[in-house]
């Protein structure tokens, strides 16, 4: 006892500093009158800190979880899951759980006294899943041993993932890939990249209980090739040919996509354009995923000239010749090539500046012949050649000569129109027949009438539009070797008719219902001013429209007998001025 401890009941309360073994010693005093020594009492205790236990819970395969103590200070522990029976806990220890649901874990520490301590955690643990290696992609150009990227999913927290490669000497056995680390992406996906990859790979998932869940395996695929005359030869290099069920070969430009059997060993591409660099990629479909090869770029080579193009010459509505050149084969010209156009016949011989086919190839090239001034007297003819980027030049296209139209009249008043034109020459001429149609046009080019198909080179219009001073015609040619739906137009031929005002010599504004008003009659009376003046030179009537009439009055005063002078000033549809004059007599 402490020297200062008085006799009686003593209370001792340990502090944190006393945690651990504690010995209590008590020496009793002998009752008087004895002078002998007292009795010593000794008892040993263990002072503990009454803290609740701490523990972790990790998901395992097979509907289990692993419970691990992190501060094992008590003599024994028990664990209870979802209100079930308590069981002794030997850390770490597997316990059954409800997979995918919320589970409640209660861990109790027993210090050997009446003061047990408990801790509770309610957790929803991830369900262990077999990962999927969905993509293996070579990211470089090397057909073997180049850099690669791996795409996995799902990759879940609480599990350990290791990228493994198959041992070439022991099929079916795998070893971790040194230096491979997983990078999380969106969702539960992840990727891994290697500077060099060759072989068969898988992702191994290991849970906290030591269970292994291997993914499917994917093998690398390589693509090699060479360029020769008009042929790019590709060789498929799968690490495991037997694992491939389907190949998909892509090529750009051109958006070529081919599906080939898994037993295919190569492919010859003969559809490329000379001088064009094509990029190929091979995708091998395997169980569970796809393996992408390296990219392979080959420049197409050829000593074979392109096919002769198709040339079509046609007049537009402004009587300018527009020449369109399209490829002899394929939807587009080869990229980087040239189209060389020349003209013969009407307008003289001309070689035009080259037309580029563009970096990606174009479906057509069009030229408006700005060197042709005025309408020629002989139809011009055009031909073209194509030169590819390898320097090969095609044969000239068949010449294309648009029809040249003339329009005349067979009567002084222009009440009929006689058309004649030169023969259209197309790529199939003269063997392929040509069909013509005559189009009657408005001033803005709108088609007013279309004739029946013709095979000859003349046409008589017996009844042209009576309300149009200028008659406009155009000949449409089809056939002659032109593709279906393609036509060539002639120039716009015109016939200008003379405007004319027909006036009486007199009229009688006396109210008898006969010849009481002066009406303007004639042909093509538009854009005009009509004036009548009296003998003093004073204007008595003005009209700018054929519907306006004169009743003989002057500023509301009754008609006055006598002779009057009239004048018509008109601007025709051909923009030429016309003037007519005369006299009119008023008789009441």
- What are the C-alpha distances in Å from 407 to residues 67, 87, 88, 415? 104, 113, 114, 13
Please give the torsion angle defined by the CA atoms of residues 333, 337, 340 and 341, in that order, rounded to the nearest 10 degrees: 30
SS3 225: strand
SS3 241: helix
Please give the pLDDT value at position 1. Answer: 40
**Three-point CA angle 400, 405, 409, nearest 5°:** 170
User: How many CB atoms sit inside 10 A of residue 294's CB?
Assistant: 25
DSSP string, 476-527: EEEETTPPTT--EE---EEEEPPPEEE--SEE--SSSSSS-SB--EEES--S
SS3 202: strand
HSE of 317, CA atoms in CB hemisphere, 13 A: 10
Please give the pLDDT value at position 4. Answer: 54
Taken in order 534, 539, 544, 548, the sign of the CA dihedral is negative
pTM score of the predicted model: 0.58
Please give the pLDDT value at position 8. Answer: 62
Which has the closest alpha carbon to 468: 525, 418, 420, 412?
525
Q: What is the pLDDT along the chain (588 residues), one digit of tens a residue?
A: 445 555 566 787 888 788 778 888 877 776 667 666 677 788 887 777 778 999 999 999 999 999 999 989 888 999 999 999 999 999 899 999 999 999 999 999 998 766 799 999 999 999 999 999 999 999 999 999 999 999 999 999 999 999 999 998 988 999 999 989 999 988 889 999 999 999 999 999 999 999 999 999 999 999 999 999 989 999 999 999 999 999 999 999 878 999 999 999 999 999 887 878 999 999 999 999 999 999 999 999 999 899 999 999 999 999 999 999 999 988 988 888 999 999 999 989 999 999 999 887 899 999 999 999 899 999 999 999 999 888 999 999 999 999 999 999 988 888 899 999 999 999 999 999 999 999 999 999 999 999 999 999 999 999 999 888 999 999 999 999 999 999 999 999 999 998 989 999 999 999 888 999 999 998 889 899 999 999 999 999 999 999 999 999 998 899 999 999 999 999 988 889 999 999 999 998
Q: Give me the sheet containing 93-96, strands edge to edge.
A: 55-60, 64-69, 93-96
Q: Which residues pair with 231 in a beta bridge?
A: 228
SS3 32: coil
The contacts of residue 3 (CB under 8 Å, 6+ apart) are none
Which has the closest alpha carbon to 89: 71, 73, 104, 108?
108
Q: What is the SS3 assignment for 54-109? A: CEEEEEECCCEEEEEECCCCCCEEEEEECCCCCEECCCCEEEECCCCCEEEEEEEE
Q: Beta strands of 70-215 (E only): which ranges?
A: 76-81, 87-88, 93-96, 102-110, 117-124, 132-138, 148-153, 160-166, 174-176, 183-184, 190-194, 200-206, 212-214
DSSP label of 249: E
Let me know: does 294 contact 223? Beta carbons within 8 Å.
yes
Chain position carrying tokens 């795409």: 151
Burial degree of 403 (CB within 10 A; 0-12, 13-18, 19+): buried
Chain position carrying tokens 């210090």: 111
Q: For residues 87 and 83, what is the distance between their CA atoms, to the nearest angstrom?
A: 12
SS3 242: helix
Q: Which residues pair with 43 in a beta bridge?
A: 24
SS3 206: strand
SS3 16: helix
């Amino acid at each position: 006892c402490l020297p200062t401890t008085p006799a009686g009941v003593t209370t001792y309360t340990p502090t944190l500093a006393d945690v651990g073994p504690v010995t209590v010693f008590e020496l009793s005093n002998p009752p008087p009158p004895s002078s002998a020594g007292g009795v010593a009492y000794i008892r040993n205790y263990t002072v503990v800190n009454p803290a609740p236990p701490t523990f972790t819970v990790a998901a395992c395969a097979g509907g289990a979880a692993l419970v691990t103590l992190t501060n094992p200070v008590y003599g024994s522990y028990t664990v209870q899951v979802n209100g079930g029976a308590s069981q002794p806990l030997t850390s770490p220890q597997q316990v059954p759980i409800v997979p995918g649901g919320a589970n409640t874990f209660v861990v109790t520490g027993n210090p050997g006294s009446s003061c047990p301590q408990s801790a509770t955690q309610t957790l929803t643990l991830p369900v262990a899943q077999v990962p999927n290696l969905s993509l293996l992609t070579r990211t470089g150009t090397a057909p073997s041993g180049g850099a690669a990227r791996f795409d996995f999913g799902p990759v879940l927290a609480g599990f350990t993932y290791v990228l493994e490669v198959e041992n070439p000497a022991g099929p079916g056995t795998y070893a971790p890939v040194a230096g491979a680390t997983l990078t999380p992406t969106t969702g539960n996906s992840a990727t891994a990249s290697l500077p060099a990859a060759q072989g068969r790979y898988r992702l191994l998932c290991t849970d906290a209980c030591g269970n292994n869940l291997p993914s499917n395996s994917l093998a690398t695929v390589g693509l090699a090739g060479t360029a020769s005359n008009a042929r790019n030869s590709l060789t498929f290099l799968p690490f495991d040919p037997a694992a491939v069920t389907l190949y998909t070969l892509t090529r750009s430009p051109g958006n070529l996509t081919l599906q080939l059997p898994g037993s295919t060993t190569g492919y010859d591409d003969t559809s490329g354009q000379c001088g064009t660099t094509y990029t190929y990629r091979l995708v091998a479909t395997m169980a569970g995923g796809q393996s992408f090869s390296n990219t392979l770029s080959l420049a197409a080579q050829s000593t074979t000239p392109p096919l002769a193009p198709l040339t079509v010459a046609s007049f537009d509505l402004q009587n300018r010749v527009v020449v369109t050149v399209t490829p002899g084969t394929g939807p587009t010209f080869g990229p980087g090539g040239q189209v060389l156009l020349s003209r013969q016949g009407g307008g003289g011989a001309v070689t035009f500046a080259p037309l580029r086919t563009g970096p990606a190839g174009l479906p057509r090239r069009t030229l408006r012949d700005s060197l042709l001034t005025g309408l020629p007297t002989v139809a011009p003819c055009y031909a073209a050649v194509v030169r590819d980027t390898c320097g090969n030049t095609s044969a000239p296209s068949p010449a294309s000569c648009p029809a040249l139209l003339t329009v005349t009249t067979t009567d002084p008043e222009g009440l009929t129109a006689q058309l004649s034109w030169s023969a259209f020459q197309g790529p199939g001429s003269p063997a392929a027949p040509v069909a013509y149609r005559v189009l009657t046009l408005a001033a803005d080019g709108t088609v007013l009438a279309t004739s029946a198909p013709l095979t000859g080179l003349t046409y008589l219009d017996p009844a042209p539009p009576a309300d149009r001073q200028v008659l406009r015609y155009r000949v449409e040619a089809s056939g002659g070797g032109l593709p279906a739906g393609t036509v060539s137009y002639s120039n716009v031929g015109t016939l200008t008719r003379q405007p004319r005002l027909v006036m009486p010599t007199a009229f009688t504004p006396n109210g008898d219902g006969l010849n009481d008003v002066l009406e303007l009659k004639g042909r093509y009376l538009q854009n005009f001013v009509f004036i009548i003046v009296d003998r003093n030179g004073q204007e008595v009537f003005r009209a700018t429209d054929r519907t306006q009439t004169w009743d003989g009055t002057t500023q509301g005063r009754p008609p006055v007998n006598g002779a009057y002078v009239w004048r018509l000033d008109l601007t025709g549809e051909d923009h030429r001025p016309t003037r007519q004059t005369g006299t009119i007599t008023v008789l009441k």
